[in-house]
Amino acid sequence: MHRVPSLVLLAGCVIFPGATRAIAQDVPPRHAQVVALDECDPRTFNPALGEEGTGFCHNVTLYNLPDHDYSTTLDELVGQAMAGTPDPGWDFEPDQLTIPKGTTVSVVDQGGEPHTFTEVAQYGGGFVEALNHGEPTVPECNGGFKNVAVARTRILQGSRLDVAGLSKGKHLFQCCIHPWMRMEVDVK
């Protein structure tokens, strides 16, 4: 009398994990996460770039540890960019992403500065000449934030930009402020 219900229950347990696995295989993930990173030093960035010393760099950084200072000063950032060895801490991660068509790329700015995640035909310079190491500004970054097309690709500190509807093929993205921040998205 008690055997039938327990068998049904057992069968249910066997079928259910199989069904879950089939769904996981058939439906591609809808979001792929990218992070934008930087280690701006609020003490040097804000007096130079923020209005009356407030607000531009919102980074929470570790200062004055005995053996290491994790932040990058404005002079260090500009000096390294001009020397052609830009700070690798200003970065999109991962560097490359392969996604099925229909996936939204969600870029979260976990750094202290604003960035842009701008699709370009060819990598090149951004709209801040001092950071370009002589590369001309790419057309997609022209005009900076006065250009609505560029402003729409801006990611403010702590916020997220979703890029949906990417066609199949290779897509190149870069930051229009820090042009060495580059990543490739391949849509299959």
Size of the site for Cu ion (CB under 5 A): 5
Q: How far is the CB of 141 from Cu ion (least distance, A)?
A: 11
Residue 90-129 contact track with Cu ion, rule CB under 5 A, x = bound:
-------------------------x--------------
Nearest Cα to 140, choosing from 157, 153, 156?
153
Give the one residue of 37, 97, 107, 177 binding Cu ion; rule: CB under 5 A.
177
Q: Does 175 bind Cu ion (CB under 5 A)?
A: yes
- Pairing, β 182-187 against β 160-163: unpaired
Residue number with CB closer to Cu ion (115 or 171): 115
Q: Does 171 bind Cu ion (CB under 5 A)?
A: no
Q: How far apart are CA 15 and CA 18, in angstroms?
A: 5
Q: How far is the CB of 66 from Cu ion (least distance, A)?
A: 30
Nearest Cα to 182, choosing from 111, 126, 105?
126
Q: Does 58 bind Cu ion (CB under 5 A)?
A: no
Q: Does 178 bind Cu ion (CB under 5 A)?
A: yes
Nearest-5° Cα angle at 88, 158 to 118? 55
Q: How far apart are CA 127 and CA 132, in angstroms?
A: 8
Question: Which amino acid belongs to residue 137?
Answer: T
